[in-house]
Amino acid sequence: MELFDLSGRVAVVTGGNGGIGLGMALGMARAGATIVVAGRDAAKNAAAVKQIQEAGAKASAIPVDVLKEDSCRALVADTVKTHGRLDILVNNAGVNIRKQPEQYTLAEWHTVMDSNLTSAFLCSHAAYPEMKKGGVGKIINIGSMMSIFGAPFATAYAASKGGMVQMTKAMATAWAKDNIQVNAILPGWIDTALTRRAREQIQGLHDNVLKRTPAGRWGEPSDFAGIAVFLAAAASDFVTGAAITVDGGYSVLG
């Protein structure tokens, strides 16, 4: 199906070495894309590349720390050097520091904002000229339920993820003329390393999510394969500036 065919496309996934990022990477790999796994942890990067290659796709890893501007720029430059092009950028790397707002230090605030939001700006900024040159581009930004809701332990995280949606809209309007679509995915509660830590820190979280999610389960990284393929493929060429929830109905339960 041409609409969902990613053959010949090159996709960079920040934080693609585990969790939701790897779920999306595997989906795009199965649709034919070459994947660049961009994380900090070399062992996780290598394991993810192996898993993607075992799924039959081309993959490589580029170590990156998205907190550093040079590292984001080198990620794009090295991708183009190795694979000749960059068509798809998934801004997925993210962290959370769970504390009440009054307990936050400025350094902690910057860590969360810079990891989640500034990194997406930097990687997109670096990717834009390459996508423009190639004549097509797909940027997929990962938001959160905290793009919509608030929570006492998520001041910086919610600010970063709310900002991600607004940045998505602004970039979408700027780059539509270049045939670059920019969209956001807002995951519900997904079983990953990030939320395993949350479940240790927030009493009752596991059961509360189950109760509150109409689908009656936590999400899995593999739940993000389909939406990633859609937003990376020609099927979504007239979809831009959207924020799509993938949450088993969590955000629409009244």
Q: Spell 187-222 as b/e; 16+ CB within 10 A means b.
A: bbbbbbeebeebbeebeeebeebeeebeeeebbebe
Q: What is the smallest separation between the CB atom of 199 and ligand NDP, expressed in angstroms? A: 10
From candidates 3, 41, 46, 174, binder to ligand NDP by CB under 6 A: 41
From candidates 128, 175, 189, 250, binder to ligand NDP by CB under 6 A: 189
Cα diameter, the chain: 52
Considering the complex, state which of residue 20 and residue 76 has its C-beta at the smaller distance from ligand NDP: 20
From candidates 25, 120, 122, 190, binder to ligand NDP by CB under 6 A: 190
Q: What is the crossing angle of helices 193-201 and 205-212, to 10°?
A: 110
15 binds ligand NDP (CB under 6 A): yes
Q: What is the smallest separation between the CB atom of 150 and ligand NDP, expressed in angstroms? A: 14
Q: What is the smallest separation between the CB atom of 120 and ligand NDP, expressed in angstroms? A: 9
Identify the CA nearest to 189 among candidates 164, 169, 212: 212
Structure tokens at 205: 């979280």
Q: Spell 110-132 as b/e; 16+ CB within 10 A means b.
A: ebbbbbbbbbbbbbbebbbebbe
14 binds ligand NDP (CB under 6 A): yes
141 binds ligand NDP (CB under 6 A): no
Rounded distance between C-alpha atoms, residue 57 and residue 51, angstroms: 9
Bridge partners for 89 per DSSP: 12, 139
124 binds ligand NDP (CB under 6 A): no
From candidates 124, 192, 240, 245, binder to ligand NDP by CB under 6 A: 192
Considering the complex, state which of residue 44 and residue 83 has its C-beta at the smaller distance from ligand NDP: 44
104 a catalytic residue: no
Binders of ligand NDP in range 83-112 (CB under 6 A): 92-95
Helical H segments across 33-185, by residue range: 42-54, 69-83, 106-113, 119-134, 155-175
194 binds ligand NDP (CB under 6 A): yes
Considering the complex, state which of residue 176 and residue 244 has its C-beta at the smaller distance from ligand NDP: 244
Active site (catalytic) residues = 157
| Interface with ligand NDP (CB under 6 A) | 14-15, 17-21, 39-41, 44, 64-67, 92-95, 115-116, 142, 144, 187, 189-190, 192-195
